Structure 1
Amino acid sequence: DRRGIHFLAHPEIEQQLHDFWKANPPNPDASDTTPSHHWMHYTDVPVLDVEKYGDGKTGRGNWDIVHTIPYCIGVLRAEIAADNPRKITKAIAVILLAHYLGDIHQPLHVGAEYFNEAGEPSDPDRGAPGLGDEGGNALSLVQNATAERKRHYYHSFHAYWDLDTVRNLTIGTPDEVPKEERENVYAPAKEKVIADFVANEPKNWRTPGDPKTWAEQWANEILPIAREAHTRMRFEHVHREEKDGRVFAKGEAHEIGTGYLDWSTAVVGDELHKAGWRLADLLQKVL
């Protein structure tokens, strides 16, 4: 597949990645027995009220990110056989952990908003029925105009946190750079950010206890930020939608006031900084 990622110098790892994908296919028939690898990147804890991961059931799953990180740790510790049903070998476990550590430090990979039939935020963990926004993937984001920037519309609230905030952190603008300029713009900017992260120890990055407990601790740590990411918004045109067998809440998230871009960029900088140090610490402890 020319569209896929290939490791020409490491064909055995490429084969292991293919095996992992086949063992965890993203299809409508996914279940706890044969989970979708998509599930492993997130958990959707309701953010309307102050809540920790262990306080409820909504949005959590046996193969969400909070469960998959310790599974990978178990493989690296040889507590779980490398030839396991999920086809997570030691090499794949390292690759996944490098990715998941970034995911779990992105607030919309952990918290989600839920809405009732009237399009108002609700908390299913407290008895109020509601449909989730799929971690912000089903919400568009509208940012208000400032003196420096005109009113801006983002197709996906989630993608804004994944991409636009990182661009703003690295190159000083959330806007995409023309394709022909990207390498010259992004490469030196990323190198500078990485060098700063490596040279300066972040605050409050150490995690106590057994590494298998860390994922839940990290989820609990970022949930208040996920909640603030939503409380800084007002929601409009929220309605029920169905697609590919999924039922979810679709609508728009409108910034309240201004300053969301600066705030979210600072959050992403802090979280990526901690994620890198935590990944290094985790691998040192389990390899």
Structure 2
Amino acid sequence: MKRLACMLALAGAFATVAPSTALAWGADGHRAVGAIAAKLLKGSVAERRIAALLLPGETLESVAVWADCVKGNWCGPQTPEMAAYVAANPKHSEYHYTDVPFQLGAYHDHAAGTFEDDIVQTLKSAILVLQGKDTPQTNPHRFTPRQALLVVAHLAGDIHQPLHVGAAFVGKDGRFVVPKTKAEIDELNIFDSRGGNNLQLDDAFITSIGNRAIPPGAPKEAPAGAMAGAPTGTPKTKPFHSYWDSTVVDYAFRRSGTRTPEQFAQYAIDRKPSVPVNTGDAATWPYQWANDSLAISKLAHMDVTLGAASTVKSKSSGESYKVWALVVPDDYPVPSSALARQQLVKGGYNLAALLKEIWPEA
């Protein structure tokens, strides 16, 4: 109970409302961030500048998933624009995260778990492009203003997902450890859990405790353009990262009594949340967001315990790597969904604040 109270106090608990339906699409979290920002930007100079970079029919909500859509065919066939972006950015899948040990207090350039193309560095580059301050050195990806907007709209959501910043590393004794240098992460003495993807939850257990704490609503059909292609069978395990990418978003929507990202956005704004104000030049804001998310990642890992390790082989690459069973407390869906709600709201408000800072009122 002390752990639950701590997590809820730091997250800002919200009242449980009878759910109307369940959501289960990974894109919903990003669309919610985009929808919140779009509502907050109504009538602003930033809204007009954004519209000038978007194509007919596009909105900040709809393009918030673009940087994930380029990874495959989940959103439909790749467009020529997507293909060109992927060709020019062969490491684009690395732009979405950094791997700072979750026990640390801040993100630092070149520290263990960080890298040149991580989420903080990529966001900083894209912001400089939108500010018109980029140089060949600060824009190594050669983002155009439109690409920079699409990247910012997505990564502003990713950086508020705690496991996209705070990562778990495991020692050979099966305990969480803090590597001091990149060289220490050698997969012999210290293993990278790959952002929690190698930490495996028992899917039946997490579904059971989630439905007990947060009753599911009626299922809905996938909206047009939503990611598809997920396995139809129920997996025996769920990666901890996947739980934080999608399951807690589902829980947050259900507890808010909302069905769509737009409804969740309105729900959030109506409650006039208190969101910390960013300070300094906008290009430094990704550092502030990363540090905030790192603090939340500590709560995400609170009282979770590592179980037995096993070695698995990737079907695609043939690579062998370790995975660990992960056990969470019986009440975990409640505080984790509160944290998810808070982070989605922060993401939307921070994205709006950033775009207003880049394109201020005259």
Scaled by the length of structure 1, what TM-score is found?
0.78
Q: Which residue of 2 aligns with 1:259?
A: 331
User: Counterpart amino acid of 2:199?
Assistant: L
Are positions 1:274 and 2:310 aligned together?
A: no
Relative to structure 1, the CA distance from residue 91 to residue 147 in structure 2 (aligned partners, 3 Å threshold; closer, same or farther) is: closer
Relative to structure 1, the CA distance from residue 281 to residue 166 in structure 2 (aligned partners, 3 Å threshold; closer, same or farther) is: same
- 1:95-135 deviation per Cα after TM superposition (whole angstroms, max 9, x unaligned): 11111011000000001111122222111117785111111
The DSSP-based 3-state class of the residue aligned with 1:100 is: helix
Are positions 1:136 and 2:136 aligned together?
A: no
User: Counterpart amino acid of 2:96?
Assistant: H
Matched ranges for 1:63-82 at <5 A: 63-80=117-134
Superposition deviation, residue 161 in structure 1: 0.7
| Structure 2 unaligned residues grouped into runs of 5+ | 1-69, 214-234
Superposition deviation, residue 74 in structure 1: 1.0
Q: Point out the more displaced range, 225-234 or 107-116.
A: 225-234
Aligned residues: 256
- Given candidates 133, 137, 149, the residue that maps to 2:212 is 149
User: Counterpart amino acid of 2:337?
Assistant: T
- Given candidates 43, 51, 70, the residue that maps to 2:98 is 43
User: Counterpart amino acid of 2:120?
Assistant: V
Q: Point out the more displaced range, 59-68 or 192-201.
A: 192-201
Rounded to whole Å, the distance in 2 between the matches of 1:269 and 1:66 is 22
Query: Which of 1 and 2 has higher RCO (CA within 8 Å, sep 6+)?
Result: 2
Q: Which residue of 1 aligns with 2:323?
A: 250
CA contact (8 A) 2:210 2:333 kept: no
Q: Which residue of 2 aligns with 1:105?
A: 160
Relative to structure 1, the CA distance from residue 148 to residue 102 in structure 2 (aligned partners, 3 Å threshold; closer, same or farther) is: closer
CA contact (8 A) 1:112 1:133 kept: yes
Rounded to whole Å, the distance in 2 between the matches of 1:204 and 1:23 is 36
Q: Which residue of 2 aligns with 1:53?
A: 107
- 1:158-184 deviation per Cα after TM superposition (whole angstroms, max 9, x unaligned): 1111111111111349xxxxxxxxxxx
The DSSP-based 3-state class of the residue aligned with 1:155 is: strand
Are positions 1:166 and 2:249 aligned together?
A: yes
| Structure 1 unaligned residues grouped into runs of 5+ | 9-13, 26-35, 174-184
Superposition deviation, residue 137 in structure 1: 1.0
- 1:158-213 deviation per Cα after TM superposition (whole angstroms, max 9, x unaligned): 1111111111111349xxxxxxxxxxx97x44332111223333213321111111
Superposition deviation, residue 22 in structure 1: 0.8
CA contact (8 A) 1:205 1:277 kept: no
User: Counterpart amino acid of 1:149?
Assistant: R
The alignment-based identity, stated in percent, is 30
Superposition deviation, residue 247 in structure 1: 7.1
CA contact (8 A) 2:305 2:327 kept: yes
Rounded to whole Å, the distance in 2 between the matches of 1:24 and 1:239 is 34
Q: Which residue of 1 aligns with 2:60?
A: none
Are positions 1:235 and 2:309 aligned together?
A: no
Rounded to whole Å, the distance in 2 between the matches of 1:94 and 1:7 is 21
The DSSP-based 3-state class of the residue aligned with 1:20 is: helix
- 1:142-162 deviation per Cα after TM superposition (whole angstroms, max 9, x unaligned): 456659639x96421111111
CA contact (8 A) 1:236 1:254 kept: yes
User: Counterpart amino acid of 1:254?
Assistant: V
Relative to structure 1, the CA distance from residue 262 to residue 154 in structure 2 (aligned partners, 3 Å threshold; closer, same or farther) is: farther
State the superposition RMSD in angstroms: 3.2
User: Counterpart amino acid of 1:137?
Assistant: N
Superposition deviation, residue 246 in structure 1: 6.5
Q: Which residue of 1 aligns with 2:270?
A: 199
CA contact (8 A) 1:134 1:248 kept: no
Matched ranges for 1:178-217 at <5 A: 188-217=259-288
Rounded to whole Å, the distance in 2 between the matches of 1:169 and 1:154 is 21
Q: Point out the more displaced range, 224-233 or 195-204.
A: 195-204
The DSSP-based 3-state class of the residue aligned with 1:54 is: coil
The DSSP-based 3-state class of the residue aligned with 1:102 is: helix
- 1:14-57 deviation per Cα after TM superposition (whole angstroms, max 9, x unaligned): 544322211122xxxxxxxxxx111110001112x333112872
Relative to structure 1, the CA distance from residue 147 to residue 222 in structure 2 (aligned partners, 3 Å threshold; closer, same or farther) is: closer
Rounded to whole Å, the distance in 2 between the matches of 1:91 and 1:278 is 19
